Structure 1
C-alpha cells in the first residue's frame, strides 16, 4: 500500500510572513557592456602540427597520442549536424554514427578531432578506416568509426579560438566526459616528461605524440604551437607508376612514388610491401585506368607501367637515403582527394 506523504513539521510559509516575490528588474544600464555574440563560422581551417625530431621541453606543453585517421570538424547546431573534412568537404553521410552522437550533445558548438577505426588492441588502423569508407572514391559510410575530440572552437554563440588551449580543453571536458565510450570520445591529455612518453608510445606500437602549447590560442595554420613527433614517419606521395608482377598480390610488384619539388615532381623511390590482397587488386584496376606513355618525372625504367600522378598513397618509412630515396617504406593505403592530403614537398 502506498503511504500518504508525510506532512511537514512546519509550514513552508507562515501565515504571518509575506508571500514570496521576485525582486523587480531594474532597467538595463546603457553603459553596461554587452557580451559579444559571434556568428558560428561555416568552416574553420584546421590548426596543423609541425614535424619535429624530439618532444619539446617545459611545463607549458600538453601531450596527446597521435592517432592515424581523418581530421574532422563537427559543426553542431539545434537544426543540423555537419561533419567537415580537413579539405572543407561535407562527409556527414559517411560518418552516420558520429553525426548521430553529435546530435545528442545538444547546444551549438564546433569540435576539432580525428575519426579513427580501432583494431583489437585499441590502436588506430588507417587501412581499416579506408576499407570502412569503401576505398578511394567509395560511397560507403563508416559506421564503426569513432571521433576523438581534442579541441573546442566555438560554443553557444562564442568563438573560443582566442582563448588559451588550457581553457578550451577545460570547457571541452565539461561537454564530453572522460569516460565517454560512444562514437564521440574525449582524447585525453597526458602529463609527464615528453621523452619518456614518446619512448612509451613507440614501444606500444603507436604512431607518435602531439605536443601543444597550453597558453596558445587556436591558429589556422602551422606555426609551431602544435608539433608532432613520430615513431615511424608517414607521408603522402603521388603514385607515378608500378612494376607488374605475376607473383605479387594484385599483380603489383612495386609502386613508384613522387614528391613535390618546386613546381614539379621528383622521384623518391618505391614501395613493395604493406599491401592486402583486396586492396592491391582494386589498386591495380584503378592504376590501369590512368596509364600514360609519358612518366611524370624524368626517369627511365624498363618494364614499368607509367600512370598519371592522380592517386595519393600514404607511405610509412624510416627516413631518407643520402640520394633522396625513402628507406624501408611500407604502403598504408590511398588518401582521399577530399581529405586534402598534403603531398610531401621537398624543399628546393
Structure 2
C-alpha cells in the first residue's frame, strides 16, 4: 500500500446539506485531490488517477514528519493572494500542475507556492487504518501530523449549516460532510459515507454562437464572454437547433455566430481568473 498508487474514496454529491449529528464538516477546497505517501523522510505524491506528480511539487522535498511512514488523503491547493482574503485558486494550481520544465517549476515555487491540506489518514507506521471509523482516523491525523510550511491538516467543524453560510460569504467551493462512524472505502463512491455540497452560482446568459466540431454554445453575460456551455440536455439542444437558422449572423471554420436573442439560466461553480464560468450547466430557457 505504501508508495503504491491507490484510488481514494470519492464524494457523493448532495444538493442539500445532510442532516444529523454524526458528521464532521470541512471546507471543500478548490484544488486537485492528492494522496501523499511518506516513508523514511521521503514524500511521494499521487493524483486520484494514480499518476505520480511528486516532481511537480518540489517544495515537499523539505518536509519532515514525526512518523516512520503514513499515507495522507487531501487536496493540493494554491492560494489567490490578489483577493482581500486569500482563497484557493484553481487556475493558479493548474499553472503549477501543468508545468513540467524543472526551471519553470522552481520559478513557480516562489510565485505560486502550493499547500497540501490533509483531511484523512489512511496508513500510519506500517498499519492500515482503512477499517477504522473516521473519528479515530481523524484523531490520529491531528495527533501525529503537525501543521508546517506547505502542509496542514484541514480544520473540522461541528455545524454544517454555519460553515456553509461562511463558505457562501467567502465565495468558496463548498463543504464536505463525513460520517464519523464509517470506515474508508478505496476506489469507490460509497453511499452515505462522505458528501459534498457545492456553493453553486446561477446567472442568465445569452447564447451567441454554436461551436462546430464539438458541441457547445457561446455564453455571454452583459456582452462579456463567459466561455462555452457544453452541458445541455438533448431535448433542449434539439429545441434550440430548430430556431438557429433564423438567428445566424456570421460563420467561420470553428463557430456559427448568432444574434444573442435567446437566453438561458446556467449553474456554474465559479468564475475563473479570465472571467469564464467553470463547469457551467444548462438549467432552463429564459422567456
Q: How high is the TM-score relative to the length of structure 1?
A: 0.58
TM superposition shift of 1:233: 5.8
Match of 1:49 among 3, 6, 11: 11
Distance 1:79 1:62, change over 3 A: closer
C-alpha distance in 1, partners of 2:268/2:232? Answer: 20
> Residue in 2 aligned with 1:129?
93
Pair 1:108-2:69 in alignment: yes
Q: Secondary structure at the match of 1:199?
A: helix
- Pick one of 234, 238, 251 that aligns with 1:303: 251
Structure 1's unaligned 5+ residue stretches are 1-38, 270-298, 308-320, 335-341
- Give 2:196's match in structure 1, choosing from 216, 224, 228: 228
Contact 2:36/2:44 (<8 A) preserved: yes
In 2: Cα distance, 1:230 partner to 1:190 partner = 17
Q: Which residue of 1 aligns with 2:56?
A: 94
User: What is the CA–CA distance in structure 1 between the aligned matches of 2:29 and 2:253, rounded to whole Å?
Assistant: 34
Which residue, 65, 68, 80 being the options, matches 1:119?
A: 80
1:131-164: CA deviation from partner (whole Å, max 9, x where unpaired)? 33457x7874353001001111011111100000
Q: How many angstroms apart in 1 are the aligned matches of 2:195 and 2:134?
A: 14
Summarize the alignment of residues 13-28 of structure 1 with structure 2, pairs less than 5 Å apart: none
* Cross-structure match for 1:218: 184
1:164 is aligned to 2:104? no
Report if the CA contact (8 A) 1:259-1:267 is conserved.
no
Indicate how the Cα distance of structure 1 residues 90 and 174 shifts in structure 2: closer, same or farther if over 3 A, else same: same
How high is the TM-score relative to the length of structure 2? Answer: 0.69
1 or 2, which has the higher strand percentage?
2
In structure 2, the gaps of 5 or more residues are 203-212, 238-243, 256-263, 282-287
User: 1:122 Cα shift?
Assistant: 2.7
* CA deviation profile, 1:239-286 (whole Å, cap 9, x unmatched): 75686x9xx99xxx564343498xxxx6989xxxxxxxxxxxxxxxxx
- How many residues align? The count is 238
Q: What's the RMSD between the two structures over aligned residues?
A: 3.8
